Structures are given as C-alpha cells and as structure tokens.
Amino acid sequence: MGGIVKYVRRWLAPNSMMMLSSPALLTRRLSLAVEESSPSSTAAAPPQMPPFDHTPQPYTGPRADEILAKRKKFLNPAMFLYYKKHAMEGKMQYLYDENGRRYLDAFAGIVTVSVGHCHPTVVDAVVQQTRLLQHTTTIYLHHAIAEYAEALAQRMPGNLKVVYFVNSGSEANDMAMMMARLYTGSFDVIALRNAYHGMSPATMGLTAHSTWKYNVAQGFGVHHVLNPDPYRGPFGADGNLYANDLANLVESATPGRIAGFFHETIQGVGGAVELAPGYLAAAYDIVRKAGGLCIADEVQTGFGRTGSHFWGFQTQGVTPDIVTLAKGIGNGLPLAAVVTTPEIAAVMAQRLHFNTYGGNPMCSAAGHAVLKVLDSEQRQQHCASVGNHLLHRLRALQDKHALIGNVRGRGLMLGVELVTDRQAKTPAKAEAALLMEHLKDLGVLVGKGGLYSNVFRIKPPMCFSMQDADFLVDAMDHVMSKL
C-alpha cells in the first residue's frame, strides 16, 4: 500500500494545487493512477457474498436516472447522495437495486435499521395496528403508547422511568436541553467537540462539527470542551485529563452553575469515536457538582448495538439523568424518545405541551415489536460475538494495509479511519471516497464520517452474520490490495 501512495503522490504532484481546490478531481485522478499502477493480470478474484434465501419482487417502476432527475428538480439541493443506485427492496441485512442485485448493507440506513430491513415481526405489528387505528394524538387514551412506554422504561437503570415520545433525535435532544434548563434554572450547556446531536436550530448549536453547521445564530449558551478521543485527542486515552478541561471550562466560561452536559458514548457522525476510558465518571461528577444534569445521547449506541451493554453509557459505568433515543428505536419508523426521572419530567407540566405524532399508535407498535425481537433473537449477544470477530479481522487488516490508521468501536458500531501517513495521521479523504465506490461495485455499502470524511462507519443491521463480517473484510482487503 505504501508504494502506491508514493506513486500516486508523484503522479499528482504537477497538479497538486488544483487537487487541493477540487476533491472530486483528486478522487478521479487517484482512480486513474490506481488503474495505471495495477496490472490486471495479477488481480485476485473478488470475494463472493454469502448466500441468502430471498428473491426480490420484479421492479417495474421508474428507473434510477428518472428518479435522480426528479430529485434534482423537486427536492432541496441539500439532500446529498452516496450512490446513484436505486434501493428498491430491503430484507434483513441486505438491499436490492432495481435490477434485483443484492448489496450488503453495512450502514443500516445511517444506523437506523436495528433488527433488519422489513423484519416480519415489526412489519406485522405495524400492519395490524394500521388496520385498527392509524393515528391518534396523546390527548386521547390509547393502549399502544402506554404499554410501549412501560416496556421501554423497564430497560432503563435507576429511576429513569418516565418517557416522552417525539419523532426524531433532533427533537429528543432539543427537548432534553429544555428540560435541563427548566429543572436546574441554569442556562449554560456543555457538549463535546466532534459531537453530533441534530440539525434543528437548537441542536445545531450542540453539534460541534463544522460540516453540519450553517452560518446562522446558534448555540447561545452552549460551550464545547475537548473531545476525549483516544486516537486524535491531545491526552490519548486518559479520561481524567480530558475531564480537567471540562472542570476548567465550568470555572472560567460559565457562572459556575450549568444546566447540563450532553454526550454520545461512541460518537456516530464524528467517526465512531469511543470516549476515553473513565471520562464519563469524572465528567458526571464535575457536572453534578455544578448543578447540571447529565444527558446521554443514545440515538446510535442504544438497544444493544455495542454488544457488551444494552445502553452505550453503561460501558463507562454511569447512569445519566436524561437519555435521548431515536433511529434504531423504531427500525426505521419516525420515532424517538426522551427518558428521565419523575422529578425532572415534572417540570414539563408547568405549561401545556404535546407532540402531534409522538407516540403514534403505529410507531409505538413498531417500537414495542423491536424490543421483543431484540429479546427473542438475542441481538445484544449477537452484536457482541459478531462485533468481536469483525473487530479482530479489521485489526488484522490494519496490520496489512498502511492506509488504515485506526480501528475502533465495539459491537456493531465500528469505525475504520484511513490516513495517508500513520505518524502524521493525515486524513485520506480522497482514498476513502474511491474505496467506498469500489466497495459498492463489489456489493458492499458502508457509511462515511469524521470531520474529514475519512472514516468508514460500519454499523449494520443487528442481524449481520459472521459470514457477512468476513465478506465485508475480504471486500475491503480486495479493494485496498488493488491500490
């Protein structure tokens, strides 16, 4: 791998300034350089996808180019595409395009499909409820929302027993921030750099990732502390040193009393960054002494995905005051939740407040079905065993390819960071884009994240098998070896 990186640099050198101003052109030139330097006669045969017993339905609708044209004409241009392939059908860990070709989905619709695409138990629950009652708001009595809230609260530790349903992670974090400010009487909120907590006007201020920030007023009262990143952070894996920065910020940038502290346990959009060991215990102590609430964003790490624990915050031995949930909670349906204690929840009763669609009967039925599938199919244990195997194989791949700078995460929430120089940790953004496209050609769909878009986000549906894991790594090895 080192030889091709040197070759590509020499090949691109005459146009280096142009490359800096045109990432797409850089990726294209990199691809051409790879083609020139790779003798096709010595190329190994590509790995084969594991067999799967499902035949997609024949597709007779509009073709991909027609859909693309309509998107460009009628949808907001902010909506970007990873690929120009048409996802026509999904079944468990696989997607099918308009021609019936199968793809291994290693990103789960941005970590949203938890138990599998079109899982029959979830589908049946939604269809059955839809036939009875499609919608009613929380101002009417209905059993689905109450039974689901009870089932969800039973999964929470301590006194986290009161649930408020909304539609998205952004809404959940927005409400958690308001609850914290109402309950504490303080305004200042602290979050981590490299964090992602949503794109609403309020949560954009919590997010500390320039890629997702518009040049509008945002983040009033929000402060961002050093990210306890064991790979790129200044203090390595020493959680206590990062916590010292938090303590210093409370003393220097706030009145000494704060409303709350937001965190992911493994940063999702930020590139599957797992927080340094011991950080949250120290941070929680600092926050609570300053009168603040500790708020865990479990939008991506929840529901057993980490394998070792049902909730991400449990991996650091802490219990938050508020937990926000979304994405995998409904296996793709618009469902999210804020879970907190009865005392904190009571502050919302100061005024009238409701959410038109939060706790919709269909979504509640889906969320309840997800919990049942997680139990019946033992998905947390499955994430642990498959995730450990996948992590072992990815680290072996790191030993083989210098392009891989870091492999991290746990369970089925993993990240593979690509760099052109391991010592300098120079982000390999163009290489990541090129390899992602080649993986798609082999039938593998992965996510991409990190501030520099150089991290492969491997967060598949939780039914992802050992054979799928092996195929994924073999496909990565194949495309990297071609480089």
pLDDT recorded at residue 335: 97
Which pTM was predicted?
A: 0.91
Fold match flag (2-111+379-482 vs 120-376): no
End-to-end CA, the chain: 6
Cβ(258)–Cβ(186) below 8 Å? yes
Q: Please say if the pLDDT value at position 53 is more than 80.
A: yes
Q: Please say if the pLDDT value at position 19 is more than 50.
A: no
Q: Please say if the pLDDT value at position 227 is more than 90.
A: yes
For 416-440, the pLDDT digits (tens) are 999 999 999 999 999 999 999 999 9
Q: Please say if the pLDDT value at position 100 is more than 80.
A: yes
Q: Please say if the pLDDT value at position 3 is more than 70.
A: no
Cβ(444)–Cβ(471) below 8 Å? yes
Q: Please say if the pLDDT value at position 82 is more than 70.
A: yes
Rounded to whole angstroms, the maximal C-alpha distance in the chain is 73
Query: If you average pLDDT over every residue of the chain, what do you get?
Result: 91
Low-confidence winner among 36-40, 142-146, 330-334 (lowest mean pLDDT): 36-40
232 residue type, one letter: R
Q: Which residues pair with 419 in a beta bridge?
A: 427
Domain residue spans in the chain?
2-111+379-482, 120-376
- CATH 3.90.1150.10 assigned to domain 2-111+379-482? The reply is yes
Measured over the CA atoms of residue 71, residue 73, residue 75 and residue 78, the dihedral's sign is positive
Distance CA 108, CA 116 (A): 8
Low-confidence winner among 70-79, 113-122, 175-184, 316-325 (lowest mean pLDDT): 70-79
For 365-403, the pLDDT digits (tens) are 999 999 999 999 999 999 999 999 999 999 999 999 999
For 272-293, the pLDDT digits (tens) are 999 999 999 999 999 999 999 9
Which numeric CATH code is attached to 120-376?
Answer: 3.40.640.10
Closest by CA to 121, choosing from 459, 465, 365, is 365
Distance CA 134, CA 284 (A): 41
Q: Please say if the pLDDT value at position 149 is more than 50.
A: yes
Q: Please say if the pLDDT value at position 44 is more than 70.
A: yes
Q: How confident is the model at residue 31 (pLDDT cuts 50, 70, 90)?
A: low
Residue 216 gets which letter from DSSP?
Answer: S
For 334-373, the pLDDT digits (tens) are 999 999 999 999 999 999 888 999 999 999 999 999 999 9
Residue 47, token pair as written in the block: 């790995």
Closest by CA to 228, choosing from 218, 238, 216, is 238
pLDDT recorded at residue 26: 55
Low-confidence winner among 2-16, 245-259, 407-421 (lowest mean pLDDT): 2-16
Q: How confident is the model at residue 86 (pLDDT cuts 50, 70, 90)?
A: confident
Q: How confident is the model at residue 150 (pLDDT cuts 50, 70, 90)?
A: very high
Provide, rounded to the nearest whole percent, the portion of the chain with pLDDT above 70.
Answer: 91
Q: Compute the average pLDDT of residues 8-35.
A: 46
Measured between alpha carbons, how far is residue 73 from residues 65, 66, 70 in Å?
A: 12, 11, 5
Q: How confident is the model at residue 81 (pLDDT cuts 50, 70, 90)?
A: confident
Q: Which residues pair with 464 in a beta bridge?
A: none
Distance CA 105, CA 91 (A): 10
Q: Please say if the pLDDT value at position 456 is more than 90.
A: yes
Q: What are phi and psi of 181, to 5 degrees?
A: -70, -40
